[in-house]
Structure 1
Amino acid sequence: MLSRAAAATLLASLAACSGQPAPTEEAPLAGATIGGDFTLVDQNGQTRRWADFRGKYAVVYFGYTYCPDICPTDVQRTAQGLRTFAAEHPDEAAKVQQIFVSVDPERDTPKVVGEFVSAFGKDIVGLTGTPEQIDAAAKAFKVFHGKGKVEDNGAYLVDHSNVTYLFGPDGAPIATLPTDQGAAAVAQELAKWVR
């Protein structure tokens, strides 16, 4: 049986043979119970399940299209980070799928979600569903969300976690992406884990 150090050395040498550097540390979310099956609808009205994204790295963010500031900023920085990563590592970037999941099914129809994600990139998958479907997905991904006070004009905010997760091709969580630090930091984190 290989020691941990010997296993790390073997992985590094195998990666060197393939031309890809290997991560030198364990993924921060390795072993975490984040993620899980869901049934939602994409911006084209197609039913999508978590299993549909197997074989690709998935960058997942839960938010809502009427969000005044945080959601559009996080989604934009993620999309910009992916573009920066793609410019330097096009083959690896082709293995990454950005996914936006709405926590506001009352207003975020597939059409509305589609318009939102298309403002940041043509390849982003936008997902929505019934309140029950959204609740189940949010629970699986350890995302808090709750509708705020409804104003007289019907407007409201949605409180929610703003975490951008990176999952591996097997659906296992790898790390969170530092959207709060900007697109360059997102690209750097992707380069660390995507192979």
Structure 2
Amino acid sequence: MTNHKLLIVGTVAALAILVAGGAYLSGRSEADRFAQCRTGNVAGGMEAFGTDFTLTRQDGARVTAAEVFTRPSLLYFGYTFCPDVCPMDTARNAEAQALLAGQGSEVQLVFVTVDPRRDTPEVLTTFGEQFSEDIVGLTGSDEEIAAVNKGWRNYYKANDAEDDQYYLVDHMTNTFLVMAGGATAEFFPRDTPAEDMARKVGCFLDAAS
């Protein structure tokens, strides 16, 4: 093989390596762009959380996940008859939302009921208005609520065997950060202070920009 042909072959090989390396680094950068913001790992990764859905918003409109998650959102699963935990968590999320707004970052609150029997759109409207002007309340059929909870690995159980009116509902209390487009980026336990939540969410928003 002549030196000219060797040069061509070598150049093509080098370009192929550069293209492959660039694609690898690009994919790695996309996968790791939030790595500096995360404080822990979960089995299956955060990409295992989430699902498509169609639910009923507090104004009565039927909406899909794509229509809800048009911007970064703090997603919480709870119910309005909850005596303490849900109001406290929603208030904390609203405080984090306000802190982020003060820094020029907008996030919305999304509240998905685990008690669709009692949480009608009207009830969700009254509940949400206590905490934020920018909160989306979602309800649906028993099957729809079960499916969306399963998508975010959220356990819940209504204790209504003896009382079908004033029962309580066991449920998990994580808040999820869902980015615009519907990808779940992080979750926050209920003992996360609003200031820490706002700081960590801000990291994700900066990394996404």
TM-score range, shorter chain: 0.7 to 0.9
Give the Å deviation of 1:170: 2.7
Instruction: Report the secondary structure of 2:153's partner residue.
Output: coil
Residues 130-149 of structure 1 correspond to what in structure 2 (within 5 A)? Answer: 130-149=141-160
What SS does the aligned partner of 2:115 have?
A: coil
Is it true that 1:119 corresponds to 2:130 in the alignment?
Answer: yes
Relative to the length of structure 2, the TM-score reads 0.76
Q: 2:49 aligns with which of 34, 41, 61?
A: 34
Deviations 1:142-175 (A, max 9, x none): 1111111445583110011111000122311111
Amino acid at match of 1:189: K
Between the two structures, name the one with larger relative contact order (CA 8 Å, sep ≥ 6): 1
Counterpart Cα distance in 1 of 2:70 and 2:57? 19
Provide the secondary structure at the position in 2 that maps to 1:37.
coil
1:159 maps to which residue?
170
**Which amino acid letter does the alignment assign opposite residue 190 of structure 1?**
V
**Alpha-carbon shift at residue 70 of structure 1 (Å):** 0.8
Shift of 1:188: 1.2
Structure-to-structure mapping, 1:17-166, within 5 angstroms? 25=36, 27=38, 28=41, 30-88=45-103, 90=104, 92-93=105-106, 96-151=107-162, 154-166=165-177
Residue type of the partner of 2:127?
F
Q: 2:48 & 2:35 partners in 1: Cα distance? A: 22
- State the distance in 2 between where 1:49 and 1:56 align: 14
The residue number in structure 1 matching 2:9 is none
Larger Rg: 2
Inter-partner Cα distance in structure 1 for 2:153 and 2:145: 12
Identity of aligned residues (%): 35
Amino acid at match of 2:144: Q
**Aligned length in residues:** 176
Runs of 4 or more, structure 1, over 6 Å off, are: none
Q: Which has the higher helix share?
A: 2
Q: 1:191 and 1:135, CA in 2 relative to 1: closer, same or farther beyond 3 A? A: same
Change beyond 3 A, Cα 1:31–1:102: closer
Cα distance, 1:177–1:152 mapped onto 2, change above 3 Å: closer
- TM-score w.r.t. structure 1 length? 0.81
Q: SS at 2:48's partner residue?
A: coil
Q: Distance in 2 between matches of 1:154 and 1:126?
A: 21
Deviations along 1:46-101, whole A, 9 cap, x unmatched? 1111011344112110000000111111110001011011112x1x32xx221000
Unaligned runs of 5+ in 2: 1-20
Unaligned runs of 5+ in 1: 9-21
